[in-house]
């Protein structure tokens, strides 16, 4: 993971080396040669994805965005790209977020599942019915039309998957994640992250940041901080964010980060847009 970037880009190499110094352990050793189990640990996964994403961005200085957005954790790298956070300030925040989320997962075990081929309204209604009966499950990631991720307690997600398949979902796929992200079960992580956010310098954004919580553009540090904190327990409104960016003039979307998942989602949300990778 990111080895090619490290070898080919001086700017990326400096950033990855800096990341090791900030974290106090060799993240690059795990990224380059760690096992899948090592990389799946929340406290490693989140810093690794964040560092990889920003490294891709700094390796291409000619790419200057006119607006940015990030999916869940990706919102932090979007904030670095928009000049809101310095990398050296953002990485400790990401690490603290990962630790807080890991602790929340251990306190209240949960999981997530991808629901394919069902209208958002149907998924929302069934989740509300199951939650009202006592098992927590909510809509967590609005990824693209026909693909919504649910999150909650193990019992809540299992019951929802059965009910959603009965309601006509093409598939209900359990996800290999460590907990119930973007659900009320992450509430205990908010206090830990709030303290870290308050100690961190946030600057006005160079360009609009379309945030997960409301899919709206923001530049003011106070708004960005509040939305970043709310994101832990609120759904990721990715479909709505891409639609809003397209309405505001975006025609080309470039993904910074490992993989091509977001490019695929953009093409499903806005088929007329161009989507690629840096």
Is the domain of 10 the same as that of 89? Answer: yes
Is the domain of 94 the same as that of 113? Answer: no
Give the total number of structural domains in the chain. 2
Is the domain of 32 the same as that of 99? Answer: yes
Task: Give the residue-averaged pLDDT of 5-26.
Answer: 96
Is the domain of 35 the same as that of 114? Answer: no
Is the domain of 171 the same as that of 225? Answer: no
Q: Which residue has the tokens 């649910």?
A: 150
What three-state secondary structure class fits 267?
Answer: helix
Task: Give the residue-averaged pLDDT of 120-147.
Answer: 97
pLDDT at 181: 95
Phi then psi dihedrals of residue 24, to 5 deg: 80, 10
Is the domain of 156 the same as that of 257? Answer: no
Is the domain of 91 the same as that of 191? Answer: yes
Asked if the model's pLDDT at residue 69 lies above 80, the reply is yes
| Dihedral sign, Cα of residue 251, residue 257, residue 260, residue 261 | negative
CATH code: domain of residue 96:
3.40.366.10
255: containing domain: 3-105+185-277
Last residue of a domain, one of 179, 202, 230: 179
pLDDT at 50: 97
pLDDT at 65: 96
Task: Give the residue-averaged pLDDT of 9-21.
Answer: 97
Q: Mean pLDDT in the chain? A: 95
Is the domain of 256 the same as that of 127? Answer: no
Rounded Cα distance, 169 and 207, in Å: 38
Task: Give the residue-averaged pLDDT of 53-66.
Answer: 95
pLDDT at 128: 98
Confidence band, pLDDT 50/70/90 cuts, at residue 42: confident
> What is the DSSP annotation of 98-151?
HHHHHHHHHHS-EEEEEEESS-HHHHHHHHHHHHHTT--EEEEEEEETTEEEEE
pTM: 0.94
CB neighbour burial string for 36-56, b if at least 16 within 10 angstroms, e if fewer: eeeeeebbbbbbbbbbbbbbb
Per annotation, catalytic residue among 52, 71, 182, 218: 182
Is the domain of 218 the same as that of 237? Answer: yes
SS in 3 state form for 166-229? HCCCCEEEECCCCCCCCCHHHHHHHHHHHHHHHCCCCCCCCCCEECCCCCCEECCHHHHHHHHH
CATH code: domain of residue 146:
3.30.70.250
H or E stretch at 217:
strand 217-218
Confidence band, pLDDT 50/70/90 cuts, at residue 176: confident
Asked if the model's pLDDT at residue 66 lies above 80, the reply is yes
Q: Which of 115, 140, 144, 172 is nearest to 262 (CA)?
A: 144
Is the domain of 170 the same as that of 257? Answer: no
Is the domain of 161 the same as that of 96? Answer: no
**% of the chain at pLDDT higher than 90:** 92
Confidence band, pLDDT 50/70/90 cuts, at residue 118: very high
Say whether 182 is catalytic: yes
Rounded Cα distance, 23 and 185, in Å: 27
- The CA R_g of the chain, rounded to the nearest whole Å, is 18
Last residue of a domain, one of 179, 196, 218: 179
pLDDT per residue over 146-165, tens digit each?
A: 999 999 999 999 999 999 99
Is the domain of 28 the same as that of 99? Answer: yes
Lookup: tokens for 119 = 């209208």
Per annotation, catalytic residue among 9, 53, 72, 77: 72
Task: Give the residue-averaged pLDDT of 74-80.
Answer: 98
Last residue of a domain, one of 154, 179, 204: 179
């Amino acid at each position: 993971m990111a080895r090619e970037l490290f070898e080919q880009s001086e700017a990326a190499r400096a950033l990855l080396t800096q990341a090791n110094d900030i974290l106090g352990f060799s993240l690059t050793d795990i990224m380059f040669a760690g096992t899948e189990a090592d990389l799946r640990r929340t406290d490693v996964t989140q810093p690794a994805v964040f560092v990889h994403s920003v490294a891709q961005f700094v390796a291409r200085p000619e790419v200057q965005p006119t607006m940015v957005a990030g999916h869940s954790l990706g919102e932090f790298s979007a904030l670095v790209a928009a000049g809101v956070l310095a990398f050296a300030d953002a990485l400790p925040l990401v690490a603290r977020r990962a630790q807080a989320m890991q602790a929340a997962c251990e306190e209240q075990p949960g999981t997530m599942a991808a629901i394919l081929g069902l209208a958002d309204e149907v998924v929302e209604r069934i989740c509300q019915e199951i939650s009202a009966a006592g098992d927590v499950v909510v809509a967590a990631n609005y990824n693209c039309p026909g693909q919504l991720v649910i999150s909650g307690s193990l019992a809540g997600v299992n019951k929802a998957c059965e009910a959603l398949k009965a309601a006509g979902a093409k598939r209900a796929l359990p996800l290999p994640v460590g907990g119930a992200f973007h659900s009320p079960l992450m509430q205990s992580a908010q206090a830990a992250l709030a303290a870290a956010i308050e100690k961190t310098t946030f600057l006005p954004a160079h360009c609009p940041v379309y945030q997960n919580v409301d899919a709206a553009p923001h530049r003011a540090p106070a708004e960005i901080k509040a939305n970043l904190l709310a994101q832990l327990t609120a759904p990721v409104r990715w479909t709505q964010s891409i639609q809003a960016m397209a309405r505001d003039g975006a025609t080309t979307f470039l993904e910074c980060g490992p993989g091509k998942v977001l490019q695929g989602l953009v093409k499903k949300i806005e088929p007329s847009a161009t989507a690629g990778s840096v």
